[in-house]
Structure 1
Amino acid sequence: MTLWNLFSWAILLILGLFLIFFLLYCAYIHYIHLKYDHIPGPPRDSFLLGHTPTLMKAMKADSLVHELFLQWSQIYGPVVRVYGLHRVMIIVTSPDAVKEVLLSPTFTKDLVYKNAFNLFGVRYLMGMMGTFNEKAEELMEQLAEKADGKAEFSMHEMMSKVTLDVIAKVAFGMELNSLHDDQTPFPRAISMVMRGVGETRNPLIKYSPGKRGFIRDVQDSVRLLRQTGKECIEKRQKAIEDGEEIPADILSQILKSASLEKTCDMEMLLDNFITFFIAGQETTANQLSFAVMELARNPEILEKIQAEVDEVIGSKRDIQYEDLSKLNYLSQVLKETLRLYPTAPGTSRILEKEIVIEGIPVPANATLVFNFYAYGRTEQFFNDPLKFDPERFGPESKRPYFTYFPFSLGPRSCIGQVFSQMEAKVVLSKLLQRFEFELVERQSFDIVDTATLRPKDGVICRLRPRTHK
């Protein structure tokens, strides 16, 4: 047999094996579809790809995938199946399912999560007020330099810097000073990582030649954050070994948890570091930016919230922990902001056993997606849902249970929700205390999804000092 014949047989063998694997994969997809086809949902784009082309088209057009989920829920009901290759998502907009699934103790996080959750007691939160005030004052100083009524700047950029400085200091004992250092690479690195997380929804991204530069940028950003985390962790570990006094912050809890588990793997420690670091910065910055955007668009709401800040805070610079509970209308504004613009757009759970949701059997091992964006914009749950109305959360308001949960619910709810809302209150109340602001014309109010939801155009503003009557 000649070498050419051997080569030809090898090619035929490879093609034959590929065909067998392809047919087996098709059979597996068919089997998966048979399990879920009884659940309502939109027609597939194709047998193999499922709904992936529609989802990718929305992402490429800078449209919100979550708007698509909302539309599908309105058309097909509270339980909707979505296919992507062999994977299946079940989009659920059912308050009863929220109660049954999210509040279930079956779904728990690891020891690091539980220990960090226990960290956020009242005494610890009260101790953060000094840093909240300090960093918020630094932001006000930066804004004062721009407050001539003419300068145009991105409020989102400024909010991102202050929340980055806060989380770095209170969680990890780091002084980044990004408010004063325009050259610091951390804000861009975090933004790139979040974009990278969002792009991974496309299962074919790694094979796209046009994305190679973007992928390299994301990889460089991840390396920067991990190297920074490694240096921070090693410095804290040495302090512990030397018997130095260490702060009771998130980093200490991460190291304590690893010690209890007798697993001090650096990669695991860095994963936890970056998760807390990014989540603690990005979501609060986005919420504050959306709040400013809506206040600028609704002058009557702005006037009411300014009156409350004037009454509770007055002219003092040092906001106390006790002051925050008196800012009731400001709390309503922040809640309404998260209803319309949930910075973390959803959460998911994997079923361990079959359950029935709204009369529809959902098989075990299904991935349930609870989309906060869809819940907040559903007419059935919120009257005139696109209207920004803080009175929805007033003391006399009534709304359905288990339809508003921007930090999730139950044992896997966001551990930093009280922390983030305290920080947001301090920053927003100081901004309202000092400045009048208006939105620059010719900007959109679109939302962009980079794993969290943020204002697409950055909330471009003009500022001027407030003149109190």
Structure 2
Amino acid sequence: MTLWNLFSWAILLILGLFLIFFLLYCAYIHYIHLKYDHIPGPPRDSFLLGHTPTLMKAMKADSLVHELFLQWSQIYGPVVRVYGLHRVMIIVTSPDAVKEVLLSPTFTKDLVYKNAFNLFGVRFLGNGLVTDRDYEHWHKQRRLMDPAFSRTYLMGMMGTFNEKAEELMEQLAEKADGKAEFSMHEMMSKVTLDVIAKVAFGMELNSLHDDQTPFPRAISMVMRGVGETRNPLIKYSPGKRGFIRDVQDSVRLLRQTGKECIEKRQKAIEDGEEIPADILSQILKSASLEKTCDMEMLLDNFITFFIAGQETTANQLSFAVMELARNPEILEKIQAEVDEVIGSKRDIQYEDLSKLNYLSQVLKETLRLYPTAPGTSRILEKEIVIEGIPVPANATLVFNFYAYGRTEQFFNDPLKFDPERFGPESKRPYFTYFPFSLGPRSCIGQVFSQMEAKVVLSKLLQRFEFELVERQSFDIVDTATLRPKDGVICRLRPRTHK
């Protein structure tokens, strides 16, 4: 037998094996689909790819996948199946399922969280609080972190909230001539970055004063990177190699900075130096007592807190400004409350925050319509019945905050921005409004973020009148968190009190 014949037979053998593997894989997909085809859902784009082409088309068109989920829920009901190759995703808009699943510690976070362990091959969020899928390991971490996020501990951070918010007001005052146009989202991103850096880690980034600091760009790059990873083919695209390198470098910058910050603080503690009473000190103190000072775990949470503490609050504040500018009657009412509670004082006290009831309603309504973290998901370990529909084990349940907040069944006239939904006389939205998730895996930083948001927004309302620049959209862009696409371009002028 000639060498050519051997080569030909080898090629035929490989092709035959590939064909057998492909047919077996198709049979497996058919088996999976048979298990879930009783659940309502949109027609598949193709047998093999399922709904992946529709989802990818929405992402490439800069459309919100979450809007697609909302539409499918409106058409097919509270339990909707979506296929992607052999994986099955179940979009759930059922308050009873929220109560059953999210309040239980037995449901595991799905592979989306596992995929954030690395970002393009560089360790990113690792096994931090957001991404840790092992409940016992997560619970141990959460127990270490809880004291640093208690309401009592955070009351001592009011000085920093006021300090950084005042620096923002000084920057805005320079722009407040009624003519200058600027991105409110950019300004909010800078102040929330400076706050989390100092309050959590004792770092003075001064991004409000220094346009050259690399942190805002690094965070923006990693968030874009997280969003792009939803396209499984991106790492094979030659045109994305430069972008991927930038994302990798940004992750390394954040982790290296975190390592230096943690080591510096650990040395200060060992040397008996006076250390700031910030979140990092509390975390290291608790970790030392538990004898679990693992650097990689500390770095995972450094990155988690840095990004979550900056990005989501900046987005919420930007959306709030956007809606207040679009609704002058709401703006007038919230300004009246700020005038009554805060007056002209510059140092806002913790006790003042609980008196800003209408401002709290505005912030809650902002998160209903624009949930900065758009959803969460869990894996079913055993079959359950949701709204009368059996859902087999191993499916991924998706609880999309965006869809819940915009569903007519849960909120009347859902696209209307109406803070009265959260007024004292209004019916409480049980298991339909949960922007910080619910249950044991709810966001540890929600008190922190809303304290900060109240301080910044009340100072802004106290000092300035603002209007939106014409010809900008009110679209939303998804970069793993939801943010205003055009940045909320505003003009400011000093407020004249009557």
TM-score strictly above 0.5: yes
SS in 2 for 1:461: strand
Change (3 A) 1:32 1:250: farther
Q: Report if aligned partners of 2:122, 2:248 keep a CA contact under 8 Å in 1.
A: no
* Structure 1, 96-105 or 25-34: larger mean CA deviation: 25-34
Distance 2:331 2:86 in 1: 49
SS in 2 for 1:145: helix
Deviations 1:134-168, CA, capped at 9 Å, x for gaps: 00000000000000000000000000000000011
Change (3 A) 1:208 1:417: same
TM (norm. structure 1) is 0.94
Distance 2:292 2:21 in 1: 39
Q: Report if aligned partners of 2:108, 2:379 keep a CA contact under 8 Å in 1.
A: no
How far did 1:22 drift? 2.0
Residue of structure 2 equivalent to 1:163 = 192
Does 2:251 align with 1:251?
A: no
SS in 2 for 1:259: helix
Distance 2:120 2:291 in 1: 24
Deviations 1:396-418, CA, capped at 9 Å, x for gaps: 11144111111011101111001
Distance 2:454 2:328 in 1: 19
Distance 1:261 1:308 in 2: 45
Does 2:234 align with 1:205?
A: yes
Distance 1:192 1:10 in 2: 46
Q: Percent identity?
A: 100
How far did 1:85 drift? 1.4
Distance 2:115 2:392 in 1: 33
How far did 1:131 drift? 0.5
Deviations 1:172-227, CA, capped at 9 Å, x for gaps: 11111100000111111111111111111112221223322222221121121111
| Structure 2 gap ranges (5+) | 124-152
Distance 2:82 2:52 in 1: 9
Change (3 A) 1:293 1:401: same
Q: Report if aligned partners of 1:112, 1:258 keep a CA contact under 8 Å in 2.
A: no
Distance 1:205 1:80 in 2: 27
* Structure 1, 106-115 or 306-315: larger mean CA deviation: 106-115
Superposed, which structure 2 residues align to 1:10-21 within 5 Å? 10-21=10-21
Change (3 A) 1:59 1:240: same
* Structure 1, 205-214 or 56-65: larger mean CA deviation: 205-214
Change (3 A) 1:108 1:318: farther
Q: Report if aligned partners of 2:120, 2:248 keep a CA contact under 8 Å in 1.
A: no
Q: Report if aligned partners of 1:116, 1:254 keep a CA contact under 8 Å in 2.
A: no
Change (3 A) 1:3 1:114: closer
Change (3 A) 1:327 1:50: same
Deviations 1:256-288, CA, capped at 9 Å, x for gaps: 566567655543332221111101100000000
SS in 2 for 1:464: strand
Residue of structure 1 equivalent to 2:449 = 420
SS in 2 for 1:243: coil
Residue of structure 1 equivalent to 2:110 = 110
SS in 2 for 1:462: strand
Q: CA RMSD in A?
A: 4.7
* Structure 1, 118-127 or 412-421: larger mean CA deviation: 118-127
SS in 2 for 1:264: coil
How far did 1:378 drift? 0.4
Change (3 A) 1:272 1:99: same
Change (3 A) 1:39 1:118: closer
Q: Report if aligned partners of 1:158, 1:179 keep a CA contact under 8 Å in 2.
A: yes
How far did 1:351 drift? 1.7
How far did 1:230 drift? 1.7
* Structure 1, 280-289 or 268-277: larger mean CA deviation: 268-277
Q: Report if aligned partners of 1:378, 1:385 keep a CA contact under 8 Å in 2.
A: yes
Q: Report if aligned partners of 1:382, 1:399 keep a CA contact under 8 Å in 2.
A: no
Q: Report if aligned partners of 2:477, 2:483 keep a CA contact under 8 Å in 1.
A: yes
Change (3 A) 1:272 1:11: farther
How far did 1:379 drift? 0.5
Deviations 1:223-247, CA, capped at 9 Å, x for gaps: 2111111211222232233333444
Q: Report if aligned partners of 2:36, 2:81 keep a CA contact under 8 Å in 1.
A: yes
TM (norm. structure 2) is 0.88
Change (3 A) 1:237 1:42: same
Distance 2:105 2:298 in 1: 25
Distance 2:246 2:295 in 1: 23
* Structure 1, 49-58 or 220-229: larger mean CA deviation: 220-229
SS in 1 for 2:160: helix
* Structure 1, 367-376 or 195-204: larger mean CA deviation: 195-204
Distance 1:61 1:248 in 2: 46
* Structure 1, 206-215 or 177-186: larger mean CA deviation: 206-215
Distance 1:8 1:256 in 2: 67
Distance 1:112 1:272 in 2: 18
Deviations 1:362-401, CA, capped at 9 Å, x for gaps: 1122211110000000001111100001011111111441
Q: Report if aligned partners of 1:117, 1:415 keep a CA contact under 8 Å in 2.
A: no
Distance 2:106 2:77 in 1: 26
Q: Report if aligned partners of 1:116, 1:253 keep a CA contact under 8 Å in 2.
A: no
Q: Report if aligned partners of 1:126, 1:321 keep a CA contact under 8 Å in 2.
A: yes
Residue of structure 2 equivalent to 1:443 = 472
Change (3 A) 1:192 1:173: same
| Structure 1 gap ranges (5+) | none
